[in-house]
Amino acid sequence: MKNINQLYQQVQQDHITRGQQLAQIKEASAELGSIIAQVLTSVVSIYAIDWETEEIVSSGSGFFLDSDLVITNYH
């Protein structure tokens, strides 16, 4: 299980990776890159943490449908 520091590092690395991927996509297609750039700002990572142990017990993703509403897959 990951602790909070590892989670923070993972989120930072994910952010860098998404930026690199977005740059590559923009090169391939300016129009597609623009659409993806708009969509990526709505994508979120979700982590359930056991605060006593600071371990991640589950993770997932979702997207903002509105400023106060996140849509996720329920598994």
3-state secondary structure of 17: helix
Cα radius of gyration (the chain): 15
């329920």: which residue's tokens?
74
Strand partners, 43: 63
Q: In the block, which residue shows the tokens 């659409």?
A: 35
Claim: this prediction has a pTM higher than 0.85: no
- With a cut of 90, say whether residue 40 has pLDDT above it: no
Q: Please state, rounded to an integer, the average pLDDT across all residues of the chain.
A: 86
- 1-27: per-residue pLDDT in tens? 668 888 888 888 988 998 898 888 777
